[in-house]
Amino acid sequence: MQHEFTIQVSPETAANPNQLKYQVSKKNKIPLEEIKHIQILKRSIDARQRAIKINLKINVFVNEVYAEAPIQLPIYPDVSNASEIIIVGAGPAGLFAALRSIELGFKPIVLERGKDVRARRRDLKAINRDHIVNEDSNYCFGEGGAGTYSDGKLYTRSKKRGDVHRILKLLVGFGATDQILVEAHPHIGTNKLPDIIASIRKKIIECGGVIHFETRVTDFEIKNNEINGVTLQDGSKILTNKVILATGHSARDIFELLYKKKVAIEAKPFALGVRVEHSQQLIDQIQYKCEVRGPYLPPSPYSIVKQVGGRGMYSFCMCPGGVIAPCATKPGEVVTNGWSPSKRDQPTSNSGIVVELRLDDFKEYAKYGPLAAMYFQKNIEQQAWRVGGETQKVPAQRLLDMTQGKVSTHLPDTSYKPGLTSADMSTVFPEFIHKTLQYGFKAFDKSMRGYLTNEAVVHAPESRTSSPVRIPRDWKTLEHTQVKGLYPCGEGAGYAGGIISAAIDGEKCAEACVKK
């Protein structure tokens, strides 16, 4: 017989199967010898009080043997000779659109401007060590998209997007740990994701799908408001009347191309700010209210939201036990992002701290029409590059100094490998963003005492939080509102915000494409 319970226990008990078994027996009056297995269904941490607790949702097997059921992948047929769907982009939206297309009997042709996960590493090394930015292969472009080398967080705030559990199970089927099905905030880790992405690629090819790397789309073949195919950088064409556009939030050339061809796009509000690095030990002390975290608790994350002068300011993509990475996609700009390895065992933590932007903030860029927000974003990245010394070094400032308007005379070492240049953040950001950050960090410290410290370092900018452009689509058919057969998809089109939501949107677009 199986019984489902919720129980709150100490971190040590949660980590010790025998202690947990004893607690379950005692609390629910089940004889100890009758409990054959405890299956953990969900796990979360309650750190609101000084005595930290672990919340568990469990399935208790009473006088019943537990047999683990392995995760099974769907049946993927051979689609070598099936009807074709072009998918532009091999990020989570594109890859999951390809898998779903195969599942439904269609042949995906995936076109990715960047390199496969293994070859990408050389270009990541070049940007970190030599400050060389490859426009097609970097932290944003390449197999797996921006998520592959920028953390692998697997949670989404929106529960209305679709079947989150299905995507998590697919990831487990392709090699992720089954703990992502249990944790309240699942995370794979940058060191684990590449192998999972490679497994997905192998399955797509094994079933007759096609993936072309280092293949940039430079034009769309459109006639009578219907897609007829795409043109590649070498001048060749691939003709089809079904194209899923899943290029990610940094594909500015695609946004420019759509605007040039008078294909409807819209400016979209987004958020922009800085990435702040603290020692992980300090964040643990603040969040767990203890001097030493101990062996039974993971490195602590934090999440914080404030209203500053009527404008939202909040933490974004917080990376406990992680590092800050250079994420520019073109020479002449600097961009920061963060990631954590699977064990989150680095001595530092970092988080994007970003300010809510609105469409009327981009009035100065009105001449760019629907690309106004993109040019606002681009201008700040280019200004940061100039202030940083025209390399991949970023403008940086100690956190307390920033709130007081002081240029830091000395900067400590941080996890950002290309290096830092001491600068006043007011030379990087417009005044309204700079002032919001200054006041907001003081407000943060009221919620997290000790957060505002000169041992923390601000890196600028954190600017690729989401797409600055939305590509409109019909809510029912998911086709572009103007161009039939074109399916704007994922983060780049403005319909997702992370690995899970992008994967879900990729599946939905594949289903809509096949349905038509």
- Gap between the Cα atoms of 274 and 316, Å rounded: 10
Q: Is position 481 within any domain? A: yes
| Structural domains in the chain (count) | 3
Which H/E stretch holds residue 509?
helix 499-515
Place of tokens 């898998």: 99
Q: Same domain, yes or no, for 357 and 322?
A: yes
CATH number at residue 45: 3.30.70.2700
Q: Same domain, yes or no, for 157 and 280?
A: no
Q: Same domain, yes or no, for 491 and 381?
A: no
What's the token pair of residue 319?
């990376």
Residue type, 478: L
Contact yes or no for 261/220 (Cβ under 8 A): yes
Q: How far is CA 126 from CA 2, 131, 139, 146, 150, in A?
A: 54, 6, 11, 17, 16
The pLDDT of residue 158: 57
Full domain range(s) for residue 181: 84-265+469-515
Backbone angles phi, psi at 315, to 5 degrees: -75, 150
Q: Same domain, yes or no, for 210 and 260?
A: yes
pLDDT tens for the chain, residues 1 to 516: 999 999 999 999 999 999 999 999 999 999 999 999 999 999 999 998 889 999 999 999 999 999 888 899 999 999 999 999 999 999 999 999 999 999 999 999 999 999 999 999 999 999 999 999 999 999 999 999 988 886 678 877 655 667 899 999 999 999 999 999 999 989 898 888 999 999 999 999 999 999 999 999 999 999 999 999 999 999 999 999 999 999 999 999 999 999 999 999 999 999 999 999 999 999 999 999 988 898 999 999 999 999 999 999 999 999 999 999 999 999 999 999 999 998 999 999 999 999 999 999 999 999 999 999 999 999 999 999 999 999 999 999 999 999 999 999 999 999 999 999 999 999 999 999 999 999 999 999 999 999 999 999 999 999 999 999 999 999 999 999 999 999 999 999 999 999 999 999 999 999 999 998
Q: Same domain, yes or no, for 225 and 333?
A: no
Q: Same domain, yes or no, for 259 and 275?
A: no
- Gap between the Cα atoms of 397 and 335, Å rounded: 16
Q: Same domain, yes or no, for 501 and 381?
A: no
Q: Is position 78 within any domain? A: no
Q: Same domain, yes or no, for 243 and 291?
A: no
Q: Is position 75 within any domain? A: no
CATH number at residue 160: 3.50.50.60
Contact yes or no for 144/225 (Cβ under 8 A): no
The pLDDT of residue 308: 96
Q: Same domain, yes or no, for 489 and 395?
A: no
- Gap between the Cα atoms of 86 and 82, Å rounded: 13
Residue of 355, 369, 370 whose CA lies nearest to 428: 355
Q: Same domain, yes or no, for 260 and 275?
A: no
Q: Same domain, yes or no, for 240 and 386?
A: no
The pLDDT of residue 275: 98
Q: Is position 240 within any domain? A: yes
Q: Is position 104 within any domain? A: yes
- Gap between the Cα atoms of 344 and 52, Å rounded: 20
- Gap between the Cα atoms of 176 and 391, Å rounded: 36
What's the token pair of residue 284?
């643990």
pTM as predicted: 0.95
Q: Is position 335 within any domain? A: yes
Q: Same domain, yes or no, for 480 and 445?
A: no
Backbone angles phi, psi at 194, to 5 degrees: -55, -40
Contact yes or no for 144/197 (Cβ under 8 A): yes
Three-state DSSP class for residue 206: helix
Q: Is position 71 within any domain? A: no
Q: Is position 95 within any domain? A: yes
